[in-house]
Structure 1
Amino acid sequence: MSDAALPATVADVPTPCLLVDIDKVKRNCQRMTDTARNMGVQLRPHVKTHKTIEGADICTAGTRRKIVVSTLNEAEFFAANGYDDILYGFPISKEKIPRCQRLANQLSEFHILYDSAEAMQWVQDAPLNPGKQWSVILKIDTGYGRAGVVWDSDDVITVAKAAVDTDNVRFHGIYTHCGSSYDCTGVEELKTFGTTNTDRLITVRDKLKSAGIACETVGTGSTPSCSKPADNMAALTEFHPGNYIFYDYEHVRIGACTLDDVAVRVATRVISHKPSKKQLVTNSGFTSMSQDGLKQVGDEFCVIQDHPNLRLVEMSQEHGKIRPATGDIDFTDYPLGSLLFLYPYHACSTAYNHPFYYVHSGEKIVGVWRPTRGW
């Protein structure tokens, strides 16, 4: 889509679509940059939320260095657009090694995550160009229970040594995704969580140091914990948050941000009235909103701008069903074709449903961002 074909204002957009408030994006990114700088920690933004060059340029202040990706498609996309020092923030699997080889040979810095000695055998069997070494980071599970070596397990030393003892590998350090921060509510819980998470990661660092294994990088990432960081997080070397560029209603509920910080909305239009059910029908189903959050928190999973009594309570593929939380609904307030703006519960999964994003400043549409897609 050329700029000439852009709708003039937010009121003119085709629906459903994802709207990105560029002024809020810039404010969110500057705040996170300042937080990391004030704590003496390197910010390495995760780009999986938006998957765009434009968003990453804002997050990295135009340096095009030091990002985290969740897919090799993202890594290849950003590398092709001049980005370097990229961390593939997903435990390496054997079939991904050839693509990682190409990236490691192409970039000055490309880092992979691993959490098993077996993975180091795959890496050892995949030599790089002369003068190149694999840069590997050990993924640690500090309590989230997803991937990674459990932080207080004896396997930490064994798996770290598997990399240290591999000739074509440089052991770069340790990293944890502290996803359990999403179970917190309020700033104090987030800070308490951040303190515990950091203590566990530092324990791993010190255990490795005692075994003669140095950690150049000690990183952690989640938008809630990095938005409201605990004091001891200054002992880390890197922050890896991602969702903060947009935020969403989940982060509002957690206490990581305010509703005014949420930079994305889904624009939708009323397409039908159902008085017998006190229900509006819109053209934003789960293909534009994502159902992530609906089961977790029910009809509190998103907010409808300027309509605090309305709730999105159900979705099918292309239809959304909106009802009042209390009382009746005056359908004359919502004529067919009228616009509503939904703040998503989870910006990452919502954004992934959209082939492009309309970017606006105030009410004026100022551009389009096109995310990469695939794995």
Structure 2
Amino acid sequence: MTDIATPTVLLNWPVAKANIDRMVDKARRHGLRLRPHLKTAQCLEIARYFESKGVGQFTCSSFSMARYFAEGGIKDITVAFPVNLREAEAINSLASQISLNVLVVNAESLAWLKKDLRHPLGVFVKIDVGTHRTGLLPEDEIGIEACLREMESHDLLTFKGFLAHAGHSYAARSSEEILKVHRESTAILRMLKSKYLSRFPSLEVSTGDTPTCSVADEGWEGIDEIRPGNFVFYDLMQVAIGSCRMENVAVALACPVVALHPDRHEAIVYGGGIHLSKDRMQWQGTEIFGLPVELSDSGWNLPEPGNYVRSLSQEHGVLHCTPAFFEKLKIGGLVGILPVHSCMMVDIAGHYLLTTGEQWGKL
């Protein structure tokens, strides 16, 4: 870490690898296909580790991300974002090279796909199981039927099944609340599968969010596929809602200390909103933007109570410190920050610095 000059994402690979191994094992125990979402990791080395564990099908959040992984040798990708009518060429190009699945939330998108499609394409119909971001409501029989009719008469379109993201699990504040979301969302998918399976015998149902996939160890009957992504790294939000323990957080932002203010026990670091994002959360009654940690040869120590990132501007981070933690900080030294939301922090970064000193590229 002696060469770090600017905010740098540190990856504790042994911790991330253990997170992956647990999810792979859970999927196998429950007879689920694990199609991990790569929007968090965005890294070929991590995708290849999944492959070494027998995982060969992946999820991406955009066609540019899918292109990156396809060029790296990944051959089966679901882009879990509603079809964008302006990306016809990207869809056709990818579909000519890999097994590609897309997501639709209305029949209009399918009517457009039918006009321009030149290569086989799998299609999932997105169902809103309670997040209320997008997707067809499970009781919207007219909307679902309109989508199915558009696909039944086309040689290149294959209806793969129903897909959901129980993103409202992130609003949970306990494992019990997460399990409630799991029970309700999977029940909806089982109902739809039962309703349409005789008409579409190969129909599958796919769900995915890190909280339910991490916490639920039962109630997976009838579900074919899970697509969690954040679990590779986890973050403070996942710790707070009960998805993981602090020891499971596998990334931190290494930030140079640029100023110390003893009168208020605050430190200024080079690491602001453009590095951490401005996601915030309540932590033990205080609004925080992250938790500072002492860096070590093997990664970082667990957070000490009373220390937190108080505010962020573009480049600045303001750390509120206890007197004992403040004494450990030196101008020109480094301090780690555990993120509220690892996906956003990692997306901004250009590469990973492993705690072993190795550097991995990313999208």
Q: With structure 1 as the length reference, what TM-score do the two structures score? A: 0.88
Report % sequence identity.
28
- CA distance 1:226–1:330, change in 2 (3 Å): closer
How far, CA to CA, are the matches of 1:86 and 1:290 in structure 2?
27
| Counterpart pick for 1:201 among 155, 177, 189 | 189
Name the amino acid aligned to 2:110: M
The residue number in structure 1 matching 2:255 is: 268
How far, CA to CA, are the matches of 1:218 and 1:269 in structure 2?
46
Are residues 1:34 and 2:25 paired? yes
Q: Report deviation, 1:309.
A: 1.6
Are residues 1:303 and 2:291 paired? yes
**Alignment map for 1:293-332 (pairs within 5 Å):** 293-294=280-281, 299-305=287-293, 306-324=303-321, 331-332=326-327
| Counterpart pick for 1:185 among 173, 192, 199 | 173
How far, CA to CA, are the matches of 1:83 and 1:350 in structure 2?
24
Q: Which runs of 5+ in 2 are unaligned?
A: 294-302
- CA distance 1:81–1:48, change in 2 (3 Å): same
**Alignment map for 1:67-78 (pairs within 5 Å):** 67-78=58-69
**Alignment map for 1:103-142 (pairs within 5 Å):** 103-107=94-98, 109-129=99-119, 133-142=120-129
Q: Report deviation, 1:370.
A: 1.5
Q: Report deviation, 1:295.
A: 8.3
Name the amino acid aligned to 1:175: L
Mapped contact 1:45–1:60 kept (Cα < 8 A): no
CA deviation profile, 1:273-295 (whole Å, cap 9, x unmatched)? 22444321111111211111258
How far, CA to CA, are the matches of 2:203 and 2:51 in structure 1?
21
How far, CA to CA, are the matches of 1:105 and 1:331 in structure 2?
57
Q: Report deviation, 1:118.
A: 0.7
Q: Report deviation, 1:74.
A: 1.0
The residue number in structure 1 matching 2:297 is: none
The residue number in structure 2 matching 1:235 is: 222
How far, CA to CA, are the matches of 2:182 and 2:55 in structure 1?
28
- CA distance 1:230–1:333, change in 2 (3 Å): closer
Are residues 1:347 and 2:342 paired? yes
- CA distance 1:12–1:307, change in 2 (3 Å): farther
Q: Which runs of 5+ in 1 are unaligned?
A: 1-9
| Counterpart pick for 1:257 among 229, 240, 244 | 244
Mapped contact 2:193–2:204 kept (Cα < 8 A): no
The residue number in structure 2 matching 1:358 is: 353
How far, CA to CA, are the matches of 1:271 and 1:290 in structure 2?
20
Q: Report deviation, 1:219.
A: 0.4
Mapped contact 2:254–2:334 kept (Cα < 8 A): yes
How far, CA to CA, are the matches of 2:146 and 2:195 in structure 1?
12
How far, CA to CA, are the matches of 1:63 and 1:289 in structure 2?
33
Name the amino acid aligned to 1:285: G
- CA distance 1:331–1:298, change in 2 (3 Å): closer
Report the number of matched residues.
352
Q: Report deviation, 1:335.
A: 2.4
How far, CA to CA, are the matches of 1:45 and 1:287 in structure 2?
26
The residue number in structure 2 matching 1:160 is: 148
Q: Report deviation, 1:188.
A: 2.1
Mapped contact 2:166–2:181 kept (Cα < 8 A): no
How far, CA to CA, are the matches of 1:330 and 1:161 in structure 2?
63
SS at match of 2:103: strand
| TM-align CA RMSD | 2.1
Mapped contact 1:139–1:149 kept (Cα < 8 A): yes
CA deviation profile, 1:125-156 (whole Å, cap 9, x unmatched)? 12325xxx321111111111112111122222
Name the amino acid aligned to 2:159: F
| Counterpart pick for 1:99 among 67, 74, 90 | 90
Q: With structure 2 as the length reference, what TM-score do the two structures score? A: 0.91
Mapped contact 2:289–2:312 kept (Cα < 8 A): no
Are residues 1:282 and 2:269 paired? yes
| Counterpart pick for 1:16 among 2, 7, 29 | 7
- CA distance 1:331–1:368, change in 2 (3 Å): closer
Are residues 1:213 and 2:200 paired? yes
| Counterpart pick for 2:333 among 334, 338, 342 | 338
Q: Report deviation, 1:164.
A: 2.1
Q: Report deviation, 1:24.
A: 0.6
